Structure 1
Amino acid sequence: MKSFRFLFILLFTISFSGFSQTPTDFLSKEFHKSRRDALRAKMPANSVAVVFANPIRNRANDVDFVFHQDPNFYYLTGYREPNGVLVLFSDNQTDENGVSYNEILYVQKKDEKAEQWNGKRLGIEGAKNELGFKKVMNAEEFVSTNINFKNFDRVLIEKFSDDYRNSTRNTAEVYDLVVAFKENSGFNPNNFLSPVKKQVYELVKATPIENSANVAQIIGRALAYDPSLKNDEDLMKYKNATDSKIKKELQQKISLKLEAKTNIDVTFLSSNLAALREVKTAEELKLLTKAVRISAVGQVEVMKAMKPHMSETELQGIHEFVYKKYGAEHEGYPSIVGAGNNGCILHYIENNKTKVGNDLVLMDLGAEYRGYTADVTRTIPANGKFTKEQKEIYDIVYAAQEAGIAESKVGNSFNAPNTACRKVINEGLLKLGIIKTLDEKHPYLPHGVTHYIGLDVHDAGTYGAFVANSVITVEPGIYIPEGSNCDEKYWGIAVRIEDDILITENGPINLSGEAPRKSDEIEKMMKKKSILDEFILPDLDK
């Protein structure tokens, strides 16, 4: 009896602990530390980097959007909560107790009431234990920090988006943290000149007042290239002033802005983090590959389940159900499911066509798994069989993608796949009579065919020559909207095929190859039985 009772308790404990499990396969704290160390190695002497978490953004009334961490902040910290700041020093600092440190993570403080509503927070001790930081402080302490940013030769930040909400419910939201930093560092947006603004300033400085009317006209034209100029009060006053004395005073003020010096650098972080993020570590590739394979399985299941009576939204739901079944937290971007002419809208996300009928259905979706985002597109016939015209267009795109993937190798320029794809597509369109000459400019492929993927669907990278262990998409397409200047038998046909390609020293590897790409292989897959065939819900309109 005792042994039975012991066994029962043991089984109950195991079952209960199973129900309470949370994912454990996020990036390790050692990974994030290695990324901080790699960035610090690139930082100039006597510099400090300041990286902010994403803010909470409002959806409507008292409902917020699901929080998603800033990719660079997550890359460097692993912290998945809002209202945080990372301060990274190039050189060791010493605190009031003589303890040496080279980084500080500021986190939102523990709050029992807030956690009851919105979930547990790591707090200081959690960040130390789970994220591996030695020096962690509450975010409130950054608002009143004694770090004198003016003492550093370089203060490295990213450009502020300035869409931070001040909800007044919390005195240490990202809004407050950014305001505190700007005040403490002497941040002045006028010290950061766009190329257009710099040229205009230089023109104002060099032009005698008697010729200023010509400069005013040039400023008017420059507004079309850089609308932010209208926010420059001195420049707009100069443009509209008629009094020579006032113009002279404004000219002097604008000239001083050209000479303004600042220790704040808004370019270093974005460029150096892009170079780091472009090359994936083995730990990253494991997660990214899983996100890609989840997305490919979603495409396969939809191929088996698709029927002409289904809606675009229903097909989207099957994809996203597969993602959730595998434990993916989010979609990497808004799902695109476009039947027929809807597929010609490149970022079509309404997905509201109630029946896909006999159209081709373009499905561009990607799972986000532990922060890493796939991007996989398949285009398939809703009734399981390509028409002659659909197959003609589809097979051109497939041949183009094969050519693009072949060019995705170490040392090639980032544009090499695009050049290869366009050549095949133009030759195919010419053969079908859709264009008249090989060099004809046409609207049937209006986008590039390659971008990086990783923590963003359009991930950071140098966009230079390909290097090993980067992951790109190759996604040629042909889009022929209704009313196009070609035989109307091709109208409403939209095809895109997109795969996620790992660049290696031994050639490209298609990570999403589990989802069929050839037209005959798609038709064969669509004949298979779906586990959802018997999933029939009640009719709510009866």
Structure 2
Amino acid sequence: MKISKVLFILFFVVSISGSAQTPTDYLSSEFHKERRDVLRAKMPKNSVAVVFANPLRNRANDVDYVFHQDPNFYYLTGYREPNGVLVLFSEDQTSEDGTTYNEILYVQKRDPRAEQWNGKRLGVEGAKKELGFKMAMNASEFVNSSIDFKSFDKVFIDGKFKDDYRDLGGADVFDLVKSFKMKAGYNPNMFLSRMKEYIYNNVAQTPIESHANVINIIDRMASRSSEIKNDELLNKYKSAKTDELKKEYQQKISLALKPKTNIDLTFLQSNLATMREIKTAEELKLLTKAVRISAIGQNEVMKAMKPHMSETELQGIHEFVYKKYGAEYEGYPSIVGAGNNGCILHYIENNKTKVGNDLVLMDLGAEYRGFTADVTRTIPASGKFTPEQKAIYDLVYEAQEAGIALYTIGTSMQAPNQAARKVINEGLFKLGIIKSVDERHNYFPHGTSHHIGLDVHDPGNYGNFEENMVVTMEPGIYIPEGSNCDKKWWGIAVRIEDDILVTKKGPVNLSGESPRKSDEIEKMMAKKSILDDFVLPNLDE
């Protein structure tokens, strides 16, 4: 009797703990609903927004990539599966049975056989219970729905369809998009490319007496784009012999800027960028954790680094730390570049077998519950900077400090980049790497600042800093082999990148747990690593 009772208690405890052994700290359903309400409040009357989930992507043969949700779709729904659609109405709608609703989430149908192979699906009831949707339906019902998209004044979609998904059957994204296009009368030819729109706007807004300036722009673009070169309206505008004829084609070009459709490609992108660039307290909690995980990963690699290690091994240590903390993925392909490899800004091969005594540039970020960090450290594989390495490193650090100081409310987001460039140009001149502070060079070829969040390059308007933005600060100097300077600088690449929270009290470095000063890095690298005694069998003997 006692044994049976103990076994029952054990079974009950295991059952309870087993059901709780999945993450519970995702964004809440209340967060996603509040985001939908904010977006809906921005929508004009008699409008509808349609947002699609990401499709499955094929890796090879019958193996797919690990699914990753479209960030805008996740931001608005919390749904983490493929083959879904969100339909958001500006006003209440009424169903045939009298039910009032202002949004519908369509999800992939429960399927016991598919779930046996690929895991449980949320389904309609799960979408209602866990995501808080009052109106949820199977995706197949979107294909068969009677929503009359042509009856709305505006139909908002998230940019042009790229059509880069496979037809897998069974109300997948391919079918959902195809169905929407038919119902809404979508045709990609209704919309101008960004380049053509830019030129058409120039033509429409420039007085005829200044047409020569516009023609210069057209000719310059035509030399690089067959689309512009072969554009009939632009060619007729250029060749018009009289001002009256030029005005006629100017008016036709102006009309072409206004597509005859109720489909709008820019509203969602613009408004979601505005919403996503300012983080809520709930977002900041998860994003901060992603950043701290990434910073601690940098610290553990500093302690474990040895000259005999490979770039791949160092990448593995970072990513092991991420998994140890429960981060689902890397936010982007990990960059670990030793020596001259660090001069390749998005180097992801990570296949150098020994880092030797080079500097190692490590740009990595954990993704935790959908939020992605972006932290870069550059460290000497030997544990000590050489004089040349230290000179370049300290210059980048000084530039970063100058930029971080400007992460204050109301300051232009361009200001940190300008401050960093001034420091770097003056420093490179003092070191004799460039001949004057005004010399144009390619040793610092990128900007310093971008939003992070559900994307590593989160959308934003890039105006002025506002409270609760989280923006990177990442100056760098890259001197590839063969550069026009003393050979002692060749192969030195340094980037330092931190994730900065803008607050009323000034900038807060969320990744500050990982040292940035050259002497502090050397101290961290002198510490013992828990991996020092981790030795695997030699498989080549």
Cα separation, 2, equivalents of 1:414 and 1:93: 41
Identity across the alignment (%): 73
Matching residue of 1:43: 43
Deviations 1:190-223 (A, max 9, x none): 2212354357779999xxxxxxxxx999988645
Matching residue of 2:307: 308
In 2, are the aligned partners of 1:288 and 1:369 still within 8 Å (CA)? Answer: yes
Matching residue of 2:408: 409
Instruction: Give the AA of the match of 2:408.
Output: K
Instruction: Give the AA of the match of 1:281.
Output: T
Matching residue of 1:243: none
Shift of 1:7: 4.0
1:540 aligns with 2:520: no
Matching residue of 2:439: 440
CA separation of 1:381/1:170 partners in 2, compared to 1, >3 Å: closer, same or farther?
Answer: same
Instruction: Give the AA of the match of 2:51.
Output: V
Matching residue of 2:496: 497
CA separation of 1:232/1:478 partners in 2, compared to 1, >3 Å: closer, same or farther?
Answer: same
Shift of 1:15: 3.8
Matching residue of 1:392: 391
Matching residue of 1:340: 339
Matching residue of 1:248: none
In 2, are the aligned partners of 1:190 and 1:257 still within 8 Å (CA)? Answer: no
Matching residue of 1:65: 65
Shift of 1:130: 0.4
Shift of 1:64: 1.0
Matching residue of 1:244: none
Matching residue of 1:81: 81
Instruction: Give the AA of the match of 1:475.
Output: E
Instruction: Give the AA of the match of 2:49.
Output: A
Cα separation, 1, equivalents of 2:109 and 2:229: 40
5+ residue gaps in structure 2? 205-213, 239-249
In 1, are the aligned partners of 2:191 and 2:259 still within 8 Å (CA)? Answer: no
1:279 aligns with 2:275: no
Deviations 1:267-325 (A, max 9, x none): 10000000000000000000000000000010000001010000000000000000001
Matching residue of 1:366: 365
Shift of 1:10: 2.4
CA separation of 1:86/1:221 partners in 2, compared to 1, >3 Å: closer, same or farther?
Answer: same
Deviations 1:28-50 (A, max 9, x none): 00000000000001101110000
Q: So what's the TM-score if we normalise by structure 2?
A: 0.91
- Map 1:282-297 → 2, pairs under 5 A: 282-297=281-296
In 2, are the aligned partners of 1:196 and 1:226 still within 8 Å (CA)? Answer: no
In 1, are the aligned partners of 2:303 and 2:526 still within 8 Å (CA)? Answer: yes
In 1, are the aligned partners of 2:160 and 2:188 still within 8 Å (CA)? Answer: no
Instruction: Give the AA of the match of 2:285.
Output: K
Report the secondary structure of 1:508's partner residue. Answer: strand
CA separation of 1:203/1:395 partners in 2, compared to 1, >3 Å: closer, same or farther?
Answer: closer
CA separation of 1:218/1:33 partners in 2, compared to 1, >3 Å: closer, same or farther?
Answer: closer
In 2, are the aligned partners of 1:293 and 1:511 still within 8 Å (CA)? Answer: yes
Cα separation, 1, equivalents of 2:468 and 2:215: 51
| Most deviating of 108-117 and 27-36 | 108-117
Cα separation, 2, equivalents of 1:415 and 1:234: 37
Matching residue of 2:464: 465
5+ residue gaps in structure 1? 206-214, 240-250
CA separation of 1:195/1:352 partners in 2, compared to 1, >3 Å: closer, same or farther?
Answer: closer
1:125 aligns with 2:125: yes
Cα separation, 1, equivalents of 2:531 and 2:491: 29
Matching residue of 2:515: 516
Cα separation, 1, equivalents of 2:127 and 2:433: 59
Shift of 1:261: 1.6
- Map 1:7-406 → 2, pairs under 5 A: 7-15=6-14, 17-19=16-18, 21-167=21-167, 169-194=168-193, 196-198=195-197, 222-223=221-222, 225-226=224-225, 260-406=259-405
CA separation of 1:422/1:186 partners in 2, compared to 1, >3 Å: closer, same or farther?
Answer: same
| Most deviating of 313-322 and 525-534 | 525-534
Matching residue of 2:244: none
Shift of 1:14: 2.5
Aligned residue pairs total 521
Report the secondary structure of 1:41's partner residue. Answer: helix
Deviations 1:371-401 (A, max 9, x none): 0000000000001011111011111111111
Shift of 1:154: 0.6
- Kindly report the root-mean-square deviation, in angstroms, between the aligned alpha carbons of the 2 structures: 2.7
In 2, are the aligned partners of 1:164 and 1:174 still within 8 Å (CA)? Answer: no
| Most deviating of 255-264 and 107-116 | 255-264
Instruction: Give the AA of the match of 1:539.
Output: N
In 2, are the aligned partners of 1:453 and 1:472 still within 8 Å (CA)? Answer: yes
Q: So what's the TM-score if we normalise by structure 1?
A: 0.90
| Most deviating of 447-456 and 223-232 | 223-232
Cα separation, 1, equivalents of 2:303 and 2:539: 26
Cα separation, 2, equivalents of 1:253 and 1:44: 28
